[in-house]
Amino acid sequence: MAAQRVLIVSAVRNEIRHIELVVRAMAAQTRPPDTWIVVDDGSTDGTRELLERAAAEIPFMRVIAAPQRPLPAGADRLLHAADARAFNHGLGFAPDFTHVGKLDGDIELPPDYYERVLAKLRYNPRLGIAGGVLVEPSAGSWKLRGTSHLQHVRGALKLYSNECFEAIGGVREILGWDGVDEVLARMHGFETRSFPDIVARHHRVAGSADGRLRGQHRLGRCMYVEGYPPLWIAARSVRVASTRPLGISGLAFMAGYVGAAARRVRRFDADGYRAHLRRELRARAAGKLNPFVSA
């Protein structure tokens, strides 16, 4: 079996509160990546300087700058898929890999993270996208970030096999890329799975960088772009409403979806994608979708 060559790309912006923990955890990996490209997307808080000092001591780490594409004042960078663009920019600096992963600038990995996830990928050649799960700070402790099914791998820390990555066309520079890629992977015969026994720390509640309500509104729009139907969204909004701020979060989520529909935001489409997504949703609703294998 050919040796695994692992490329990790981190797109970061103004992560001075968390980035040192991220760097330390990466340096402590029992199986570190062969190359870690950190793409600084215009940080103004000292993140870039800290990263460059760290790169001088970590041989597999390299820091580069993302091309700057000015956005309107106050614009939501995630809404404009700035992280996906920065990630794709980083790919060009280390094209030779068997596995490629994304790591956000606020994720602290356990020391054996890549060793264990790579072992899962090696054991199951059909596994195309894999990763652990996240715990987030909550009332002075760490709370598991819920996921509706184990087929979903958090975009913040997922790892792809190169075969899967090429089959799906890489990371699409659209809102919702980390849901689209998994549907495409399963459509192409790969499995996608998160492993609950591999736990990383997310030092900021998901979607809260610009405020929780804004994050839920973005998520609703994201679901529209990914092609989810209204009835599924209505059911999902009830669950979202149980998160903070209670009730209002569900309304923000629904408003994001409805607003995108009203504006006729362009939805992702590829040959067979929509039909495959609908089949998966019907199987999940009927309780027939095995969370451990592809649909």
SS3 content of the chain, % helix, strand, coil (to 5): 40, 20, 45
Q: For position 246, what pLDDT does the model report?
A: 83
- With 0-12 / 13-18 / 19 or more C-beta atoms within 10 angstroms meaning exposed / middle / buried, residue 148 is exposed
**pLDDT per residue over 270-294, tens digit each?**
999 999 999 999 998 887 655 433 3
Q: How many CB atoms lie within 10 A of CB 202?
A: 21
pTM of this structure: 0.89
Q: For position 291, what pLDDT does the model report?
A: 44
Query: Is CATH 3.90.1150.10 the right assignment for the domain spanning 6-202?
Result: no
Tell me how far CA of residue 41 lies from CA of 13, 45, 59, 66, 165, in angstroms: 5, 12, 22, 5, 23
Per-residue pLDDT of the chain (295 residues; tens, 9 = 90+): 578 999 999 999 999 999 999 999 999 999 999 999 999 999 999 999 999 999 999 999 999 999 877 655 554 555 557 889 999 999 999 878 999 999 999 999 999 999 999 999 999 999 999 999 999 988 788 998 766 678 999 999 999 999 999 999 999 999 999 999 999 999 999 999 999 999 999 997 764 455 688 889 999 999 999 999 999 999 999 988 888 788 899 999 999 999 999 999 999 999 999 999 999 999 988 876 554 333 2
Tell me how far CA of residue 278 lies from CA of 108, 233, 240, 284, in angstroms: 35, 13, 21, 10
Domain limits, the chain: 6-202, 212-262
Crossing angle (nearest 10°) for helices 177-187 and 273-285: 90
Q: CA–CA separation, 144 vs 127, rounded Å?
A: 23
**pLDDT per residue over 151-210, tens digit each?**
999 999 999 999 999 999 999 999 999 999 999 999 999 999 999 999 999 997 764 455
DSSP strands (E only) in the chain: 6-12, 35-40, 61-65, 99-102, 107-108, 127-138, 141-144, 159-161, 191-202
